[in-house]
Amino acid sequence: MASLDAIRPSSPSPSAGGTLSPNDLARNLIRYGGSFLPCLIERADGAYVYDQTGRALLDFTSGQMSAILGHKHPEIVATMKAAADEPVHLFSGFLSEPVVKLAEVLADLLGPKLSRSILLSTGAESNEAALRLAKLYTGGHEVIAFDLAWHGMTGAAFPTTFSASRRGYGPQLPGVMALPTPYVYRRPDWAGDGFELDMLDYAFGLIDRQSIGALAAVIVEPILSSGGLIEPPPGYLARLHEKCRERGMLLIVDEAQTGLGRTGAMFASEHHGITPDIITLSKTLGAGLPLAATLTSPEIEERCHERGFLFYTTHVSDPFPARIGLKAIEIILRDHLTAHAAKMGAQLNVMLRELQDRFECVGDVRGRGLLAGVEFVRDPASKMPVPAFGAAVSRRCFELGLCVNIVQLPGMGGVMRMAPPLTITAQELAQGVDIIGAAIGDCLAAGLLDQG
């Protein structure tokens, strides 16, 4: 059996130059999307991760958009250590104090209309539970999602994920329909304010003609993250909820990346003045650990229970992650991190708009709080997507010491996603934006914009 030292890049390697390539590092792994970065991460602390050489990378994605308090937060670490001495995993029929308490805390945060919860592990799992509740409650099976949505990779969630490749996996669940994403930046030149609301009316006319009379739910992100950091315009989600009620459907809001303060509000739904019928939380809830929740109203839970709602999973209601979720919420509330996210997000927006003034290839700057996006284009007039250029900027950022995301999806340009931890400092934000500016300049100087 090989030791860890045997795979360190300082060891002999089959790759040219004596260093291990991503393919060398992943030789025993199933590659699950994109490519691996050419480094091994050995430690993480605060807003930084460090590779095997000790090189620091400023983490502008909070891991997988999940480490909302940064890496190695001392109170989270202490809670994990203490929780390891308590029950970690239990039979699903048992309840424990952390699970009961976390359900109470979430009910207090979300109010009586979203006061019943189930605690799970992943975002896809929480969306699976939400869709099952909606189908059982309404008696329908037809589900609608944005055409740039990402709700997960599992059985019922994957058919509602339109921003990823769907080819090669056979037929999806019947009854899933796409709703045009209200993409304000790419609104047609001839369209004015209100265009997205008009399109919503038109789209539901098409849905009504396609439906077999079994509409169950609409599932949406309040800010589409993987779809390109796109937020519906004011009034859109409220109108969408009205259309759901008119048809006896439920509105599910997926707050995997927007929940728990990241956007400058505890939940991004608050920006739109709506209370959905079901809300799902994940990524941010566990502060980097696998923890998710699906919440709904007492009425919906009661009816579904009467009809035999079934959602046993191996790690439903596990006490260990529930303790971490409780501590994460405690820290966010105690340290006023929602307000901090709003303040830091405003500073980030100003700095990104300064980049937009410097570089014509920065077509749009958008987002809320510490969830921001930059869309790269050939020029402001044409808004032509340049995904290869965006990917090059992302790679150059990595080389210069910054980890950021580029969304490269069919029909889209390169959109750089940023989701720094809520504990980020103004100095760290400025450092990250300086690196982005340097990376853009380097890629322009290399003529990479002309390559798309």
What positions carry a catalytic annotation?
Answer: 150, 221, 254, 257, 283, 417
| Angstrom distance (rounded) from CA 257 to CA 262 | 8
Strand intervals (E) in 214-256: 215-220, 250-254
How far, in Å, CA of 18 to CA of 10, rounded?
A: 8
For residue 401, what are the contacts with CB-CB under 8 A and spacing of at least 6?
Answer: 55, 56, 57, 58, 435
Helices (H) and strands (E) in the chain, counts: 12, 15
Tokens of 133: 């509740």
Q: Which of 315, 285, 333, 322 is nearest to 102 (CA)?
A: 322
Backbone angles phi, psi at 298, to 5 degrees: -55, -40
CA distance 231 to 224: 6
Placement of tokens 């989270």 in the chain = 76
Q: Of 367, 356, 353, 359, whose CA–CA distance to 407 is shortest?
A: 367
Query: Phi and psi dihedrals of 56, rounded to 5?
Result: -90, 140
Q: Give the separation between CA 248 and CA 399, rounded to whole angstroms.
A: 52
Residue (of 387, 386, 404) closest to 348 by Cα position: 404
Laid out side by side, the sheet with 56-59 consists of: 41-45, 48-51, 56-59, 402-403
* DSSP conformation letters of 385-420: B-HHHHHHHHHHHHHHTEE-EEE--TT---EEEE--
Burial class (CB in 10 A: 0-12, 13-18, 19+), 350: exposed
Distances (CA, A) of 30 to 25, 27, 33, 36, 290: 11, 8, 9, 11, 21
